[in-house]
């Protein structure tokens, strides 16, 4: 069994294939964190030290021991009010306006299977073969009636431990949550680095590594979404940890709104890593009998470097977060109309694109922004989800039937959470937009945000979308979200501190209704590109548009950073026109295709009709190649073979779990005159085996490949690209 409670020692022990997690209820009822690391046996309470530090460290009133202080002891669920002065997970204000609580152990339960969370996404287990188990530990504060149920889920074969919490008011008076985070990890000693994934619109998820020093370092989002600027993944490592060696611990937030991830080194050289909801504009009242769900955090540990962290997360997200028939199926290779035509298209021009897409072997045509209402630019009509039949020259069904007859699937773009001031919806329901009374609202992309915390708003969006989807055979929906939330005010809310949390809860409810009604619909998430690339959205949308920046050079960095926390099957990546619309860079079509093929949502975003014949030949070959390797991109182990920011060559690899085949890809970034040869060194092959390179029939010994690598042709121009496809012999 993965979970065990030792009543004599008071310890809870969680075992996975390669890791152990342990905590202890001590003699005073406090839940202490003991250990998270390589799999081991026994009780690790010997790691906790005690000394008289009473000069500046408080002790609970009922503890007659000056060597005991929660300000020093490693906590399992850190709370404000009993002496721990480090960053807390939980801050509560009672009915009298007083802050503070005192959480002590009450009871626990161990059960088979993985827990779920009401109304929120969470890791799931489908089969008893997963050996999943769940642990519930209840802590309570007698004074306020506050009860916190800590939830732990274990996927032992994947080395995954999840954490969530449900906060309940079992008392007779209201209290207010001022901070509600999910998990912390207290390290009693160590010299650590912290890795976060930072960026901006069109340059998301760039890895940033820094030393953990005294004080508190944090990243997060106060934008109402997980954001382009900071991603809700944090990795703590030993100072010398690399891709393939050293210890690392990661946290990933299963949530799509504001978050906060922190790491703090305290006065005694201890380090706390924590993650959960942002407390910006957060103030959530709980009346007696009410409860609050604190979203899930996925944790994993590696003693073999960052690569193992990524593999654990990739396996978990692919099979235990993503759902539905598209989870395990090849995604359609699509042509999106946006960079081909922007708003300037007609039904006839879309049919011409479909003709060429079918001729070249694509699977789907996607009609992007501009098909609805009076939408001739981005200044108007958001919220009016009615087909502009005049622009299309007929009904939506007629267009979709034509595209289907060409052998292509059909998809559309929507941005349902937004509304334009120049729209029929806004003129009829101005109170449905988030806006502060008496204040001119802040605009983003000339649009306002609809109040998704309101059931009537969600119902209207649902009905409008269903009316469109029911008109024709629409098999794909690109769900966009193109601005931050600035004016946090709902005319429906009783407390404005609830709005941002209730907004995300409402979004999840709406998405769940669509998933249930259209189970075969492939939904791709998008938020100004990568502004909501998080595990929470992947529960509803198995792929996400990774960035609005489609330049292959920049995409290598973006996709490199994304790979630390997310599987490539979730990555939407397209070949776009050159010069690139974001930065004007020219990259050969061959390299653009190779970079885009590293995503499970592969496609094109350019005017196929206007390309020269040679480009059509290259695209046809790219499509054929992608179909042959797609299973490895979707299900294989991903290896970061070099860094696009540090190395002259960006190289990556997909390898079958059993080592039977692998594809190694490389793009030359920097070129020197009469330069030295660059070598790419793969990993994940079968030691002692021989491999045939598919395109050349050359035979290589696996051990030599994984030791010395394979040489690239010496290039005289940047962006030379190569794909090596290796198959194990015998």
- pLDDT, tens digit (0-9, with 9 covering 90-100), for 39-92: 999 999 999 999 998 888 888 989 999 999 999 999 999 999 999 999 999 999
Contact indicator for 380, 422 with CB cutoff of 8 Å: yes
Which element (helix H / strand E) includes 617? helix 613-635
Closest among 86, 450, 116 to 254, alpha carbons compared: 116
For residue 89, how many C-alpha atoms fall within 13 Å in the half-sphere facing its CB? 27
For 258, residues 6+ apart whose C-beta sits below 8 A from its C-beta are: 220, 221, 222, 223, 224, 225, 226, 277, 278, 280, 282, 500
Whether the per-residue pLDDT at 1 is higher than 80: the answer is: no
Q: Are 476 and 524 in contact (CB under 8 A)?
A: yes
Look at residue 373 and tell me if it is in a domain.
yes
Residue 644 lies in a domain: no
289 & 345 share domain: no
Q: Could you report the per-residue pLDDT of 465-480, keeping only the tens digit for each?
A: 999 999 999 999 999 9
Q: Give the pair of three-digit tokens for residue 692.
A: 């045939």
Do 236 and 115 share a structural domain? yes
| Residue 610: burial class (beta carbons within 10 Å; 0-12, 13-18, 19+) | exposed
Model pLDDT, residue 716: 76
What is the span of the domain harbouring residue 166?
3-320
Among 548, 544, 573, smallest CA distance to 199 is for 548
pLDDT at residue 429 in the model: 98
DSSP state letter for 610:
G
- Residue 195 belongs to some domain of the structure: yes
* Residue 506 φ/ψ, nearest 5 degrees: -65, -40
Q: Domains in the chain: how many in total?
A: 3
DSSP 506-517: HHHHHHHHHHHH
pLDDT band at 675 (very low <50, low <70, confident <90, very high): confident
**For residue range 495-508, what is the model confidence (pLDDT) as tens digits?**
999 999 999 999 99
Q: How confident is the model at residue 598 (pLDDT cuts 50, 70, 90)?
A: very high
Q: What is the pLDDT of residues 296-337, one digit of tens each?
A: 999 999 999 999 999 999 999 999 999 999 999 999 999 999
Assess whether 704 and 600 both reside in one domain.
no
- Does residue 461 sit within a domain? yes
Q: Which residue has the tokens 């200044």?
A: 379
- 578 pLDDT band, cuts 50/70/90, is very high
Q: Which residue has the tokens 């699937």?
A: 409
Beta bridge partner(s), residue 607: none
Q: Does residue 639 fall inside a structural domain?
A: no
Q: What is the 3-state secondary structure (H, E, C) of 116-144?
A: CECCECCCCCCCHHHCCEEEEEEEEECCC
- 478 and 575 belong to one structural domain: yes
Are 338 and 427 in the same domain?
A: yes
Contact at 8 Å (CB) between 31 and 84?
no
Answer yes or no: is 129 within a domain.
yes
In a domain, 637, yes or no: no
- How do beta strands 543-545 and 571-576 pair? parallel
Nearest to 615 by CA among 588, 584, 652: 588
Q: Which residue numbers are catalytic? A: 480, 548
Neighbours of 454 (CB within 10 A): 20
The answer as to whether 641 is a domain residue is no
Closest CA to 655 of 288, 266, 314: 314
Query: Can you tell me the mean pLDDT for 267-277?
Result: 97
322 vs 632: CA distance, rounded Å:
17
Average pLDDT, integer, range 715-725: 92
Based on the domain organization, do 118 and 224 belong to the same domain? yes
Specify the CATH number for the domain of residue 301.
Answer: 2.70.98.60
Question: What is d(CA 155, CA 314) in angstroms, rounded to the nearest whole number?
Answer: 13
Note the pLDDT of residue 319.
Answer: 98
Q: What is the pLDDT of residue 406?
A: 98
Average pLDDT for 552-563: 98
The 3 state secondary structure assigned to 225-251 is CCCCCECCEEEEEECCCCCCCECEEEE
Reported as a pLDDT band with limits 50, 70 and 90, residue 717 is confident
| Confidence (pLDDT) at 673 | 79
Same domain, 12 and 85: yes
Q: Is the per-residue pLDDT at 674 higher than 80?
A: no
Which of 267, 299, 320 is the endpoint of a domain?
320
Cα–Cα dist 176/495, whole Å: 10
Cβ-proximal residues to 61 (8 Å cutoff; 6+ apart), any chain? none
Per-residue three-class SS string for 515-552: HHHCCCCEEEECECCECCCCHHHHCCCCEEECCCCCCH
Burial of 104 (0-12, 13-18, 19+ CB in 10 A): middle
Instruction: Please give the backbone phi and psi of residue 551, each rounded to the nearest 5 degrees, phi first.
Output: -65, 125
pLDDT exceeds cutoff 80 at 705: yes
> Same domain, yes or no, for 201 and 254?
yes
Largest CA distance in the chain: 84
pLDDT digits (tens, 9 = 90+) for 252-263: 999 999 999 999
The pTM for the full model equals 0.98
């Amino acid at each position: 069994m993965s979970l065990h409670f030792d009543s004599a020692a008071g310890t809870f022990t969680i075992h996975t294939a390669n890791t152990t997690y342990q905590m202890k209820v001590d003699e005073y009822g406090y839940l202490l964190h003991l250990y998270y690391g390589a799999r081991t046996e026994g009780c690790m309470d010997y790691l906790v030290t005690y000394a008289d530090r009473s000069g500046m460290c408080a002790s609970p009133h009922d503890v007659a021991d000056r060597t005991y202080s929660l300000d020093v002891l490693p906590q399992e669920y850190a709370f404000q009010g009993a002496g721990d002065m480090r960053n807390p997970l939980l801050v509560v204000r009672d009915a009298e306006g007083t802050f503070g609580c005192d959480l002590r152990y009450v009871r626990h339960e161990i059960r088979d299977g993985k827990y779920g969370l009401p109304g929120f996404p969470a890791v799931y287990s489908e089969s008893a073969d997963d050996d999943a188990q769940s642990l519930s530990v209840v802590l309570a504060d007698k004074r306020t009636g506050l009860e916190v149920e800590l939830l732990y889920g274990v996927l032992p074969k994947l080395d995954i431990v999840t954490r969530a919490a449900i906060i309940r008011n079992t008392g007779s008076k209201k209290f207010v949550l001022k901070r509600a985070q999910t998990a912390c990890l207290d390290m009693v000693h160590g010299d650590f680095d912290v890795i976060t994934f930072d960026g901006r619109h069109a340059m998301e998820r760039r890895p940033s590594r820094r030393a953990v020093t005294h004080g508190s370092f944090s990243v997060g989002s106060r934008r109402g979404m997980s954001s382009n600027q900071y991603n809700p993944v944090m990795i703590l490592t030993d100072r010398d940890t690399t891709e393939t060696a050293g210890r690392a611990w990661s946290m990933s937030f299963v949530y799509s709104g504001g978050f906060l991830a922190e790491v703090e080194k305290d006065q005694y050289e201890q380090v706390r890593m924590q993650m959960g909801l942002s407390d910006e504009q957060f103030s959530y009242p709980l009346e007696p009998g009410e409860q609050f769900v604190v979203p899930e955090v996925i944790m994993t540990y590696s003693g073999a470097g960052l690569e193992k962290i990524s593999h654990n997360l990739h396996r978990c997200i692919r099979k235990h977060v993503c759902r539905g028939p598209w989870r395990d199926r090849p995604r359609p290779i699509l042509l999106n109309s946006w960079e081909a035509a922007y708003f300037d298209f007609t039904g006839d021009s879309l049919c011409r694109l479909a003709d060429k897409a079918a001729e070249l072997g694509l699977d789907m045509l996607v009609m992007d922004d501009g098909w609805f209402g009076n939408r001739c630019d981005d200044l108007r009509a958001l919220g009016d989800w009615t087909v502009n039949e005049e622009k299309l020259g007929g009904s939506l069904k007629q267009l979709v039937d034509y595209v289907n007859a060409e052998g292509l699937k059909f998809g559309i773009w929507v941005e349902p959470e937004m509304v334009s001031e120049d729209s029929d919806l806004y003129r009829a329901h101005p109170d449905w937009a988030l806006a502060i009374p008496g204040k001119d609202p802040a605009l983003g992309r000339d649009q306002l945000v609809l109040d998704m915390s309101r059931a009537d708003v969600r119902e209207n969006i649902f009905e409008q979308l269903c009316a469109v989807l029911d008109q024709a055979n629409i098999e794909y929906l690109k769900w966009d979200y193109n601005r931050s939330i600035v004016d946090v005010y709902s005319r429906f809310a009783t407390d404005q501190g609830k709005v941002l949390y209730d907004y995300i809860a409402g979004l999840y409810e709406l998405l769940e209704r669509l998933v249930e009604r259209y189970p075969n619909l492939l939904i791709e998430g998008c938020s100004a590109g990568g502004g909501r690339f998080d595990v929470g959205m992947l529960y509803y949308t198995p792929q996400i548009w990774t960035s609005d920046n489609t330049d292959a050079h920049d995409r290598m960095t973006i996709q490199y950073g994304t790979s630390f926390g997310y599987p490539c099957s979730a990555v939407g990546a397209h070949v776009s026109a050159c010069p690139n619309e974001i930065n004007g860079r020219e990259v050969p079509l061959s390299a653009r295709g190779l970079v885009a093929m590293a995503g499970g949502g592969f496609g094109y975003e350019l005017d196929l009709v206007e390309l020269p014949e040679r480009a059509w030949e290259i695209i046809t070959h790219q499509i054929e190649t992608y179909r042959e390797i797609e299973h490895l991109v979707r299900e294989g182990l991903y290896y970061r073979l070099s860094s696009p920011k540090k190395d002259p060559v960006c190289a990556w690899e997909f390898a079958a779990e059993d080592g039977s085949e692998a594809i190694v890809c490389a793009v030359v970034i920097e070129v020197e005159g009469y330069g030295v040869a660059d070598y790419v060194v793969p990993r994940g092959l079968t030691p002692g085996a021989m491999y045939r390179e598919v395109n050349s029939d050359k035979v290589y010994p696996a051990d030599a490949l994984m030791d010395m690598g394979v040489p690239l042709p010496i290039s005289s121009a940047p962006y030379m690209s190569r794909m090596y496809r290796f198959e194990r012999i015998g």
